[in-house]
Amino acid sequence: MQQGATAAYAQSFPLLASLDGLFATIAVNKKINVDEAPSAKVIGMTLSGKVGEPILATFDVLPSQLVKNSLTIPRPPSST
């Protein structure tokens, strides 16, 4: 919802009472390789912040599998 005649908008993101069924795929680029958790269960969340500053969301996850040192394959140069 727009706030008066300004360019600011107020947004609402309702939170669920439960994290059941919430999974994510997480990958971390370590420059030489990529560590990946193809199916990570969100087991907790923390919101923090100060008035007038962006909110920081921190998620605690439990991966069902952790793939370390998966290869990063660079794209071949474009032929155009």
pLDDT digits (tens, 9 = 90+) for 10-52: 777 777 787 677 788 888 888 888 888 888 888 888 999 998 8
The predicted model scores a pTM of: 0.48
If one counts every other C-beta atom within 10 angstroms of the C-beta of residue 53, the result is 8
Does residue 16 sit within a domain? no
Number of domains in the chain: 1
If one counts every other C-beta atom within 10 angstroms of the C-beta of residue 60, the result is 12
**pLDDT for res 42:** 82
Does residue 35 sit within a domain? yes
Does residue 28 sit within a domain? yes
Residue type, 67: V
Q: Counting beta carbons within 10 angstroms of the beta carbon of residue 40, is it exposed (0 to 12), middle (13 to 18) or buried (19 or more)? A: buried
Does residue 51 sit within a domain? yes
- The boundaries of the domain holding residue 42 are 23-69
CA distance 78 to 80: 6
